Amino acid sequence: MVHCFPFHYLPMLQSLPKLASRFLVALIFLLGPAFLASAQAQDRRQNAPGEFDFYVLSLSWSPSFCEAAAERGNAERSRAQCSERSYSFVVHGLWPQYDRGSPEYCRRPAPRLERHVMVSMLDLMPAPGLIYNQWDKHGTCSGLGTRAYFETIRKARAAVKIPHELLQLPNPKLISPEELEADFIKANPGLTASSIQVTCDSRRLSEVRICMSRDLQFRDCGDNDRRACRRDQVLMPPVRGG
């Protein structure tokens, strides 16, 4: 089989020293076909609604979100989530995933999300803007209609039990990502270390993400199983009024 050289790299090569340019050309000829084959394998279904391998249920630690929003001066924009009620973990989203990568914005423009469907989700996703955004960005990739997609989110959330001690956290808590994962694994039979991920910012817990099959059973995250939080410990700000 003859592989064509990707000539769109030439302008970049011309700006490199001659020795480095020759090395890069050789590397592209050796490795390029594998990379191109991988990209083409995903491109055959890239952003095709309903064509995906599994879901990620993303649970955001609301006190961290609200604290960060206040620091950025975005408290007013976050008022719906951060001032009206006390929240612990809230649903950020349910994201269709490929075994490698993920689809986004699979229908443009997105079908309209009916207001009554949005309102019905405010107990789990306490911000209208979040709900609309998740439908446009991720829901359109599920292959489901608006009502069915958000019903699936509700079922996925119901399948995950939050560790009891984290439902009403009255004081700040320092915890390692491994300890937090272990707490969730203990509370959820069938959940394993390869099915859960913890994310954080520079010091606070951001999210717990759980990989689920299309029928909402816990499953390995596969190539997506990489710890996003590299810190030894993360801070969990307390639940307001907790």
6-37 residue pLDDT tens: 444 444 445 545 544 454 444 444 444 444 44
Residue 133 has pLDDT above 80, yes or no: yes
Same structural domain for residues 96 and 162? Answer: yes
pLDDT surpasses 60 at 114: yes
Does one domain contain both 147 and 167? yes
What is the model's pTM? Answer: 0.80
Same domain? For 137 and 39 the reply is no
Q: Which tokens in the block code for residue 242?
A: 């907790």
Question: Is 90 exceeded by the pLDDT of residue 212?
Answer: yes
Q: Of the ranges 40-44, 131-135, 168-172, which one carries the lowest mean pLDDT score? A: 40-44
Is there a domain that residue 49 lies in? no
Q: Are residues 38 and 147 in the same domain?
A: no
Domain count, the chain: 2
25: domain range?
7-43
Between 16 and 213, whose confidence is greater?
213
Residues 120, 218 within the same domain: yes
Instruction: Specify if 175 maps to a domain.
Output: yes
CA dihedral angle for residue 26, residue 30, residue 34, residue 35, rounded to 10 degrees? -10
Q: What is the rounded average pLDDT for all residues in the chain?
A: 84
140 and 38, same structural domain? no
Instruction: Identify the band that residue 223 occupies on the pLDDT scale cut at 50, 70 and 90.
Output: confident
- 22 shares its domain with 128: no
Side-chain half-sphere CA neighbours of 240 within 13 A: 14
Q: Assign residue 224 the CATH number of its domain.
A: 3.90.730.10
